[in-house]
């Protein structure tokens, strides 16, 4: 089952436990996480549903470059890290 792991830095602001998803792409996995925790969406995405400029996502250690398109396939074993970018300070 794909697993989403959020940066521990988020815990200062909002509960963000790991999420296990049944989705087969990144978009679906994020939707699962936000369905569980609606406030979390605004920390990761902006109001245009773009990834915030200083947040990065890795799938199995590979950085996702797009801030808009998340059709990347994931597998049942995928680990998705939603991390803070150093660009944000």
Partner 1 sequence: MGARGLIASRKGLFELGKTSSGWKLDLIGFEADPVSIVMHDARDDSLYAALNLGHFGVKLHRRNAQGEWQEIATPAYPPQEHRPEGEVEWKLKQIFSMAPGGAPGELWAGTMPGGLFHSLDHGQNWRLVESLWNHPLRREWFGGGTEVPAMHAICVDPRDSRRLLLGISCGGAWRSDDGGESWRVSARGMRADYMPPQQAEVEHVQDPHMIKQCRAQPDAFWCQHHNGIWRSIDDAQTWQQIHPHHSSGEKISDFGFAVAVHPANPDCAWFAPAIADMRRIPPDAALSVSRTRDGGRSFESLRLGLPQEHCYDLIYRHGLAVADDGETLLMGSTTGGLWLSEDGGDTWQSISHTLPPIYAVDFYRSRP
Which residues would be at the binding site for partner 1 (CB under 8 A)?
9-10, 13-14, 39, 42-44, 46-48, 50, 52, 54-55, 84-85, 88-89
Q: Which residue has the tokens 């605004």?
A: 42
For tokens 């773009």, name the residue: 50
**Residue 66 vs 75, nearer CB to partner 1:** 66
DSSP 68: S
* Cα–Cα distance measured from residue 63 to residue 38, given in angstroms and rounded to the nearest whole number: 24
Taking the least distance from each CB to partner 1, the nearer of 38 and 61 is 38
Complex with partner 1: residue 36 or 46, whichever CB lies closer: 46
């Amino acid at each position: 089952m794909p697993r989403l792991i959020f940066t521990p830095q988020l815990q200062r602001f909002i509960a963000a436990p790991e999420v296990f998803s049944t989705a087969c792409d990144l978009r679906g996995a994020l939707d699962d996480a936000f369905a569980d925790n609606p406030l979390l969406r605004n920390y990761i995405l902006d109001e245009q549903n773009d990834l915030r400029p200083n947040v990065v996502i890795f799938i199995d250690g590979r950085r996702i470059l797009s801030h808009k398109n998340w059709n990347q396939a994931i597998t049942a074993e995928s680990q998705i890290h939603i991390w803070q970018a150093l660009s944000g300070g």
